[in-house]
């Protein structure tokens, strides 16, 4: 109740100060009438966050619970039980603690498929398939042949096994391109799971409904963990030791998040660009939530800090191009940023000088940290990512100024870069000290499938959520609008087409995992970017408009601990 009163008070007090306007925006009428709402997250509230789950008492208890769970893992020798334990640990957010044990177990399971494995068991077969694929093992879709009839359709008798059908549905979302069996599996399971009849255990029914909304493979991991802790507690076979560890670890990792967010909030307050550039979104808490989706491991505070900074500059630049800058100014700004030379900024208007110099100092400081620690000069790779992003933004600005609606293909060829996904991933790569070779760096700055697919899903999910607002303020560049324009389709038909593109892009990204030159940790970061984009934009624009869903996620994942843990 206190928090709700605090939010109401903030909303009543909030107002947007007008920045003196000495420019002509691209679409002047729309820009004057369109302003983002001020943030609902007061810096005093953010910097007052605290957690008791950081002391020695909790560290000692967690260590004891970890050892107890390790004993359970060693005792779980039967294949299905081992897979179920691994799946539960990962869904509960504990996979990172037992990464070595999980790797050893999956290596054994992968190498001993014929040893006591019942391929006609729907649940066991599909669980094994999904878990192995999600860890990068090459498992053939042909493993499902035993579940199909002579016409290569899945046996109708399978629909009686709801748990197995749900597992098959989840497994089908790990498919790669041209895997017809998994396409059939998805259509078969979706049809029957949507029309469940008869008695279904309530906890299982909730999981079915949740998965039909967004499949497990596409879900933001930290949000899934918070939800699954509650679901797991209601399971008949729930292990109380595992549950206690999940709750305690969630709260201890959350304490790290709070520490990170407070540090970033002080940085944001000190550089003071939000008040100087008040036409742009001020979304520190929301962008931090997104970084938790991309990488929640507690040891990666630096990555979360870097990515929050990147995301907030992306939003400022995006809003400058979309609603505030004149075309002449945007072209000059693009040239200055591409050259990455602060001596070139003297002809920029004041607000662009503020933006560029703040960005310039921030990114140079990141590069200096890595140069000092590792001896690597990463600045050329980071600035190239920014230059590519800014050029893509300029293309869209020119389309808007000319009233030009690009074809869908033309839009997407530019749009995956303007999504900023590649900017985010390049900075995440260096912030997490990935294995670095010449070949890997070349992949990083070129059109690598992994980066492309993650960025494309980011773009398409953003368009699904924000197209209405963009049309309102006069933007012409959107995958929705492009498809409607070239195909004479309705908005509903365009949205369905974009959703099908997201599915196809996921399949392409799934295929890229096994051939990726990157370490598995960076592969996971890229996949998590796609997951987080779907999460943030699931119920509309979770960044531009601070809706109740996003507020609830911030409170449950960052502010409020699970109450009944130690």
Helix/strand/coil (H, E, C) string of 170-219?
Answer: HHHCCCCCCCHHHHHHHHHHHHHHCCCCCCCCHHHHHHHHHHHHCCHHHC
Gap between the terminal Cα atoms of the chain: 24
Q: Residue by residue, what is the 3-state secondary structure of 396-419? A: HHHHHHHCCCCCHHHHHHHHHHHC
User: Residue 528 above 70 pLDDT?
Assistant: yes
Question: Which domains can be identified in the chain, with CATH numbers?
Answer: 68-246 (1.50.10.130), 247-559 (1.10.600.10)
Write down the pLDDT at residue 115. 56
DSSP 423-483: HHHHHHHHHTT----HHHHHHHHTT-HHHHHHHHHHHHHHHHHHHHHHHHTT----HHHHH
Q: What mean pLDDT is predicted for residues 351-377?
A: 97
Q: Which residue has the higher pLDDT, 373 or 117?
A: 373
**Range of weakest confidence among 413-422, 500-509, 510-519:** 510-519
Q: Which of 104, 146, 149 is nearest to 129 (CA)?
A: 146
Find the mean pLDDT for residues 386-396. 97
Q: At what angle do helices 408-418 and 449-472 cross, to 10 degrees?
A: 110
Q: How many CB atoms lie within 10 A of CB 514?
A: 13
Q: Residues 390-415: what's their mean pLDDT?
A: 96
At 118, the pLDDT band (50, 70, 90 cuts) reads low
Provide the 3-class DSSP secondary structure of residue 346.
Answer: helix
Token couple for 185: 């599996």
The answer to whether the CB of 213 falls within 8 A of the CB of 179 is no
Closest CA to 206 of 176, 179, 232, 239: 232
Tens of pLDDT, residue by residue over 169-210, are: 999 999 999 999 999 999 999 999 998 877 788 889 999 999
- Which residues, at least 6 apart from 442, have a Cβ–Cβ distance to it below 8 Å? none
Per-residue pLDDT, averaged over 27-56, amounts to 77
Rounded CA-CA distance 272/270 in Å is 5
Amino acid 443: pLDDT: 83
Asked whether the predicted pLDDT for residue 296 surpasses 60, the reply is: yes
Band of residue 323 on the pLDDT scale cut at 50, 70, 90 = confident
Report the pLDDT value the prediction gives residue 466, as an integer from 0 to 100: 82
């Amino acid at each position: 109740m206190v928090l709700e009163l605090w939010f109401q008070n903030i909303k009543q007090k909030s107002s947007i100060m007008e920045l003196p306007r000495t420019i002509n925006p691209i679409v002047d009428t729309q820009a004057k009438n369109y302003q983002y709402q001020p943030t609902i997250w007061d810096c005093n509230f953010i910097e007052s966050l605290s957690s008791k789950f950081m002391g020695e008492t909790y560290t000692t208890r967690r260590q004891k619970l970890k050892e107890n769970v390790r004993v359970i893992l060693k005792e779980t020798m039967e294949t299905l039980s081992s897979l179920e334990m691994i799946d539960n640990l990962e869904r509960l957010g504990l996979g990172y603690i037992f990464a070595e044990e999980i790797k050893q177990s999956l290596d054994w399971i992968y190498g001993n498929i014929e040893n006591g494995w019942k391929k006609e068991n729907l649940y066991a077969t599909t669980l094994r398939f999904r878990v192995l694929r999600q860890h990068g093992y090459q498992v053939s879709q042909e493993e499902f042949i035993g579940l199909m009839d002579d016409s290569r359709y899945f046996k109708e008798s399978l629909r009686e096994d709801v748990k197995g059908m749900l597992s098959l549905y989840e497994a089908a979302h790990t498919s790669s391109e041209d895997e017809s069996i998994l396409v059939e599996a998805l259509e078969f399971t979706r049809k029957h799971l949507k029309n469940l009849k008869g008695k279904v255990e309530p906890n299982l029914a909730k999981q079915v409904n949740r998965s039909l909304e967004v499949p497990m493979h596409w879900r933001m991991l930290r949000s899934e963990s918070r939800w699954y802790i509650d679901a797991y507690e209601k399971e008949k076979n729930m292990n109380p030791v595992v549950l206690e560890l999940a709750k305690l670890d969630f709260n201890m990792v959350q304490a790290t998040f709070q520490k990170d967010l407070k540090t970033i909030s002080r940085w944001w307050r000190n550089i003071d660009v939000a008040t100087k550039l008040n036409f742009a979104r001020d979304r520190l808490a929301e962008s931090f939530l997104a970084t938790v989706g991309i990488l929640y491991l507690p040891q990666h505070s630096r990555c979360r800090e870097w990515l929050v900074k990147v995301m907030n500059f992306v939003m400022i630049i995006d809003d400058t191009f979309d609603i505030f800058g004149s075309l002449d100014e945007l072209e000059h700004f693009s040239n200055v940023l591409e050259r990455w030379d602060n001596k070139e900024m003297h002809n920029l208007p004041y607000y662009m000088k503020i933006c560029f110099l703040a960005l310039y100092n921030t990114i140079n400081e990141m590069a200096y940290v890595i140069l000092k620690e590792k001896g690597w000069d990463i600045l050329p790779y980071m600035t190239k990512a920014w230059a590519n992003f800014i050029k893509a933004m300029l293309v869209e600005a020119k389309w808007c100024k000319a009233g030009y609606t690009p074809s869908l293909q033309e839009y997407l060829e530019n749009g995956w870069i303007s999504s900023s996904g590649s900017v985010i991933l390049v900075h995440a790569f260096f912030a997490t000290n990935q294995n670095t070779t010449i070949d890997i760096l070349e992949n990083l700055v070129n059109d690598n499938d992994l980066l492309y697919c993650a960025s494309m899903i980011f773009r398409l999910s953003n368009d699904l959520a924000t197209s209405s607002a963009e049309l309102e303020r006069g933007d012409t560049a959107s995958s929705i609008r492009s498809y409607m324009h070239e195909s004479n389709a309705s908005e509903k038909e365009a949205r369905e087409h974009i959703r099908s593109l997201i599915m196809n892009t996921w399949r392409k990204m799934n295929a890229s995992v096994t051939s990726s030159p990157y370490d598995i940790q960076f592969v996971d970061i890229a996949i998590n970017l796609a997951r987080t984009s779907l999460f943030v934009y699931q119920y509309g624009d979770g960044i531009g408009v601070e809706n109740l869903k996003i507020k609830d996620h911030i409170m449950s994942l960052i502010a409020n601990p699970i109450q009944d843990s130690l």
